[in-house]
Every structure is written in C-alpha cells, then in structure tokens.
C-alpha cells in the first residue's frame, strides 16, 4: 500500500545557513489495511515523512509509492486526484472557523464537484459516524477539543480515502478524550478496512491502536517491527533510551489524572542518581517483591525528588526501600501506613 525506497530528503541551504538533511536512507513498507505507527521525538523527521506520503513534498532521491503509484512521477492533475484518496487528521484540527460543522465536512466534497444531493447524503452519514449529528449547525468555537477532532475525522473521510494519515491527532487532547478518539479510529478501521498511519510522540497511543511501529531518530528509521517487540525488547540504543524516557514522562504526566486518592502504603521521597537505570531496577525489584509502586509526584530533573506510594507486605516494601537507599542519592520515608 505505502512503500518508501531509499528516501533522502535534503532542504537546500538559504543565505547564511547550511543545508539540512531531514531524512536519510529511509525504507518503509506499510501493508494495506494496517494501522502503522511512526514515533519519535520532535525533529526526528516524522512530519517530513508524512508530507512525502501525502505528496506535499518530493524526496531529494528515492521513491514514494502509495496505492500502486509513484508519487513523484504523477502529473499535477494525477497528483491532485491521488491526494483525494489520502485523508489527513491534524493535531490542531485545521477547521474553517467561519463555517459550521456541516459546512466544514462538506467543503472538500464541494471542491471535488459533487452534487448537492451527494454532499447532503455523505455529510449526514459522516456526522452520524463520528457522533456529531446534533452539532451539525454549530461552529468550531462552540465545540470541545474532542468534538473538533471528530469534525476533522469526518472531513478526512469525505472522499472515501484508502489511506488515513493522523498527524499527532491526539496530542492536544486529554486522556479521556484521547481514548474516545482512538476508539473511533478503531471502529473506522474495522468498518472500512482503511490503511492508517499514526505520526506521534506518544508511546501510549501506539501501544493502544497500532499493529506495527517504526521509530525515528535524527532522520533515520532506527527500528521497526511489531509494537510489542519494539517497545518491550528494543534493540537500538536510541530506541531503548527513548522508551525509558517516554515511559517516565508519561508516568509523570499522568500523576494528577490517575492518582487522586490518598496513599495506601509507605510514602517515600527519592532523589535519583541515575534515573533510567534505577527506574528499571525499581520495576524489577517491585515486581519480584509483589509491591505496587504508585507515582505521586515526579520530575525528570535530577535535582528534584520523586514521591512514591509503596503498597505491599512489610518485607516486600523493605526490600524496595533497600534498593532505593543503595542506588539513589537520598531516600526519605515520609509516612508508613
């Protein structure tokens, strides 16, 4: 369905600057009907890759194939037609603020020259699919973030695409809304069999919905495979570092949302010496001792403490505390319940 072969993308130098190599030696094969994730930090090359797939950019060298067509060889007319079969969902929705929900979804159909009857039927069908039939005459300013993204999804599906590109589609949403949007995408995939490509920096999103994933770093695809294999058993050093760091960041970001009840066990404050290494040991030791570790507060800054709630037997908690005292700069028991 989507193939990238030996892709290089270099942005030429401008006055006073040097050229920038955005993608180097990229090979990728995404199967028809697959939900494929492309993950990496900001600046890794994810957005450039997406623009190549969508025909908004051409590679400096190499080939981009989508649905049996080599994108750079298409005429302008052929490229316009090919792009109607590639839907895209944006992080910040990109809605037309002067148009209603109904009119936003209808816009691409109007541009495609569809009849009023076709537009009427298609827009109503899509709004029902995304659960916004009752908001058809509302304006974007009257919608929540999740509702805006649902409009974006309906609009992306208007021309019956064979490929749906999701560019950080959930990054601006809260966890509950993210879950509902991912479920909607699963339902669409199940019903339409559409090929989906998710560009994201969120491991939790990829784990939740994708079947395979490619990890990008500095313009290279450094690792690719089944989601469970890549995240649970990463082989490239940069992937291992990315996975560890992202897991810690997601834990911290989820503190205020997931941990709202009072502490259940021993509350401990820890200043880490080597956060990634100790984090891994903490996970292994707590699992071995049958201790549940709840993150109450934390920071990736080495000068700031993490606060944990350790829930388990007295012996198990003591074992985890011994590990922390051996490996951390400082470990302070706050309360024992």
Say yes or no: 244 and 304 in one domain: no
Say yes or no: 272 and 223 in one domain: no
Distance CA 313, CA 54 (A): 55
Question: Which ranges of the chain have pLDDT less than 70?
Answer: 16, 247-264, 298-303, 335-337
Listed residues 199, 227, 248: the one ending a domain: 248
Listed residues 219, 248, 277: the one ending a domain: 248
CATH label of the domain that carries residue 30: 3.40.50.300
81 in any annotated domain: yes
Say yes or no: 306 and 243 in one domain: no
- Phi, psi of 161, rounded to the nearest 5 degrees: -70, 155
Say yes or no: 188 and 280 in one domain: no
Distance CA 73, CA 158 (A): 26
Are the beta carbons of 6 and 12 closer than 8 angstroms? no
Of all residues in the chain, the percent with pLDDT exceeding 90 is 52
The whole-number pLDDT of residue 263 equals 45
Say yes or no: 82 and 121 in one domain: yes
The whole-number pLDDT of residue 52 equals 95
Say yes or no: 99 and 182 in one domain: yes
Find the domain containing 131 and state its range.
2-248
pLDDT in tens, 219-244: 999 999 999 899 888 898 888 888 87
255 in any annotated domain: no
Structure tokens at 322: 């011994």
The whole-number pLDDT of residue 24 equals 95
Produce one character per residue of 177-200: b if its CB has 16 or more CB atoms within 10 Å, e if not: bbbbbbebbeebbeebebbbbbbb
Q: In what order do the strands lie in the sheet with 330-335?
A: 292-297, 306-311, 266-271, 330-335
CA distances from 94 to 72, 105, 132, 140, 236 (A): 26, 12, 17, 10, 36
The whole-number pLDDT of residue 218 equals 92
CATH label of the domain that carries residue 299: 3.30.70.260
| Residue whose pair of structure tokens reads 């030429």 in the numeric block | 12
| Residue whose pair of structure tokens reads 């009119």 in the numeric block | 103
Say yes or no: 201 and 237 in one domain: yes
137 in any annotated domain: yes
58 in any annotated domain: yes
Say yes or no: 205 and 284 in one domain: no
Say yes or no: 36 and 125 in one domain: yes
The whole-number pLDDT of residue 298 equals 66
Say yes or no: 234 and 303 in one domain: no
96 in any annotated domain: yes
pLDDT in tens, 241-270: 888 777 666 555 554 444 434 445 788 888
The whole-number pLDDT of residue 283 equals 82
Say yes or no: 59 and 175 in one domain: yes
256 in any annotated domain: no
Are the beta carbons of 130 and 153 closer than 8 angstroms? yes
| pTM as predicted | 0.73
The whole-number pLDDT of residue 184 equals 94
Say yes or no: 188 and 315 in one domain: no
Distance CA 11, CA 37 (A): 25
The whole-number pLDDT of residue 201 equals 86
The whole-number pLDDT of residue 306 equals 81
Listed residues 191, 217, 248: the one ending a domain: 248
The whole-number pLDDT of residue 67 equals 92
100 in any annotated domain: yes
């Amino acid at each position: 369905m989507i193939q990238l072969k030996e892709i290089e993308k270099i942005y030429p130098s401008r006055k006073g600057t040097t050229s920038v190599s955005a993608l180097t030696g990229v090979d990728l094969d995404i199967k028809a009907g697959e939900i494929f994730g492309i993950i990496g930090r900001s600046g890794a090359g994810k957005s450039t890759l997406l623009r190549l797939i969508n025909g908004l950019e051409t590679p400096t060298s190499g080939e981009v194939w989508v649905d049996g067509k080599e994108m750079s060889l298409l005429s302008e007319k052929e490229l316009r037609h090919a792009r109607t079969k590639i839907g895209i969902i944006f992080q910040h929705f990109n809605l037309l603020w002067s148009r209603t929900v109904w009119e936003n979804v209808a816009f691409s159909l109007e541009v495609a020259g569809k009849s009023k009857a076709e537009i009427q039927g298609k827009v109503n069908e899509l709004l029902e699919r995304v659960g916004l039939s009752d908001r058809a005459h509302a304006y974007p300013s009257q919608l929540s973030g999740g509702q805006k993204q649902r409009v974006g999804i309906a609009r992306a599906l208007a021309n019956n695409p064979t490929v749906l590109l999701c560019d950080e589609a959930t990054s601006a949403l809260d966890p509950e809304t993210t879950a509902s949007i991912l479920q909607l995408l699963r339902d669409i995939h199940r019903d339409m069999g559409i090929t989906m490509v998710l560009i994201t920096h969120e491991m939790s999103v990829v784990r939740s919905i994708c079947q395979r994933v490619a990890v990008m770093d500095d313009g290279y695809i450094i690792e690719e495979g089944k989601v469970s294999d890549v995240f649970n058993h990463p082989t490239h050093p940069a992937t291992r570092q990315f996975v560890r760091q992202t897991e810690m960041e997601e834990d911290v970001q989820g503190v205020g949302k997931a941990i709202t009840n009072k502490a259940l066990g021993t509350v401990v404050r820890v200043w880490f010496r080597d956060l990634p290494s100790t984090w891994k040991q903490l996970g292994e030791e707590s699992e071995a001792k049958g201790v549940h570790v709840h993150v109450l507060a934390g920071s990736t800054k080495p000068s700031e403490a993490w606060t944990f709630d350790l829930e388990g037997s007295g012996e198990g908690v003591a074992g985890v505390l011994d590990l922390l005292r051996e490996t951390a700069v400082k470990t302070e028991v706050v309360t024992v319940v």
